[in-house]
Amino acid sequence: MQALAIGWPDEQTRTWLHRATTDENWNVRQAAVRALVTGWPDEQTRT
């Protein structure tokens, strides 16, 4: 998920990652949260 967030930081990916934070599998939830927290660009850092 981290690679996905880094490679495609668009709104569709963000939506998908946000949905993954409520997945039944804790590994999926954890990876989604980490990807959003550590690698998601905001409006100021987006290039």
Tell me whether residue 13 is in a domain.
yes
Between 33 and 47, the more confident residue is 33
What amino acid occupies position 18? Answer: H
Tell me whether residue 45 is in a domain.
no
Tokens of 30: 């954890």
Tell me whether residue 18 is in a domain.
yes
Tell me whether residue 23 is in a domain.
yes
Provide the pLDDT confidence category of residue 47 given band limits of 50, 70 and 90.
Answer: low
Tell me whether residue 47 is in a domain.
no
Task: Report how many domains make up the chain.
Answer: 1
> Hey, is 44 helix, strand or coil?
coil
Tell me whether residue 12 is in a domain.
yes
DSSP string, 19-46: HHTT-SSHHHHHHHHHHHHHH---TTT-
Determine the structural domain holding residue 25 and report its residue range: 2-39
Question: What does the pLDDT look like over 1-38, one tens digit per residue?
Answer: 767 766 777 888 888 989 999 999 999 999 998 888 88
